[in-house]
Amino acid sequence: MQTERTLGGGLPPALRAGVLRRLLGQGIPWGSLTVLLLLIIAAIGGETLAPWDPNALNLANVFKPPAWHANGSFAHLLGTDNLGRDIFSRIIAGARVSVTVALYVIVLSGGVGSFIGLIAGFFGGVVDAVLMRLADIQMSIPSLALALVMAVVLDPSFTTVVIVIVITYWTWYARIVRSEVLSLKERDYVALARVAGCSNATILRRHLLPNVANTLLVLATLQVGQVIVFEASLSFLGLGIQQPDVSWGLMLADARSYMTHAWWLITLPGVAIMLTCLASNLVGDWLRDTLDPRRKQR
């Protein structure tokens, strides 16, 4: 049920224009895009935007509630924590970390996964069997357990978190690419193309890539939320991002002891996670509904 590409290569211009039109006609999720934009701005310009240094302690100013509360003040919009650090600045700093982790993870796991899937599908035989068994083994260990153990081995840090999550997610991309390559191998026009003298690289670029790109893009967008939640879980358990980096998950872990004292410490970082995931899910759904030609319009 795939959309066949013409032998000459590439998408026919008409179809390309149609994609854009479809995207625009679908009902752009403005809210989600704004949230994601804000996140990216926070990620890039975070340090200048935040009113306070996220790690600046102020022991005279602990447990200040958010601004709209009776004891709150606009100096600290979202209040302060048990060490007097400004929550708003820390949430912005956390956004930076989350977005950076998500980007690294998606690019790396997408890249590594696709590459492995490509190799497996292309060469087949023993290579394929070994790589797929590797994927099976990995999928049979609960991802959080594997992540925990690896995080301890590699000493928790930003790099470790990225590596650990990439190892967890590469299999998704590998499988998609592999099955595309396998089905491509069966196609007549590929055999014809080879006869006509096209190199492997050209075939891959012209035939594989367009088919797979959409699916990968949709998957990637949907995974942003998942990656952020995974990183938050790791940091919550103490094996993810470490100080002085700020992570929303870490903020939640620190806030646990003060639940009775300061409700804002345990709610606001979670709201940040929620808005980010929501935005990425909505955008992902929008992309999927428009870009993936296999989806029925429902």
Neighbours of 51 (CB within 10 A): 12
Tell me the CA distances in angstroms from 282 to 94, 204, 254, 272, one per residue in order. Answer: 21, 31, 30, 15
Residue closer to another protein by CB (options 227, 291) is 227
Give the Cα separation of 19 and 14 in Å (integer): 9
Among positions 116, 218, 227, 282, the unique one binding another protein when judged by CB under 8 A = 282
Among positions 26, 73, 100, 233, the unique one binding another protein when judged by CB under 8 A = 233
Binding string, residues 41-80; x marks residues near another protein by CB under 8 A: --------------xxx-xx-x------------------
Any contact of residue 82 with another protein (CB under 8 A)?
yes
62: left (phi over 0), alpha (psi -120 to 50) or beta: beta
Count of residues interacting with another protein (CB under 8 A): 62
Neighbours of 70 (CB within 10 A): 5
76: left (phi over 0), alpha (psi -120 to 50) or beta: beta
177: left (phi over 0), alpha (psi -120 to 50) or beta: alpha
Any contact of residue 246 with another protein (CB under 8 A)?
no
Shortest Å distance, C-beta 220 to another protein: 16
Any contact of residue 145 with another protein (CB under 8 A)?
yes
Among positions 16, 21, 69, 133, the unique one binding another protein when judged by CB under 8 A = 133
Shortest Å distance, C-beta 100 to another protein: 19
First to last CA, the chain: 18
Binding site for another protein (CB under 8 A): 55-57, 59-60, 62, 82-84, 133-134, 136-146, 148-150, 152-153, 155-156, 225, 229, 232-233, 236-239, 242-244, 252, 254, 256-261, 263, 266-267, 270, 273-278, 281-282, 285, 298
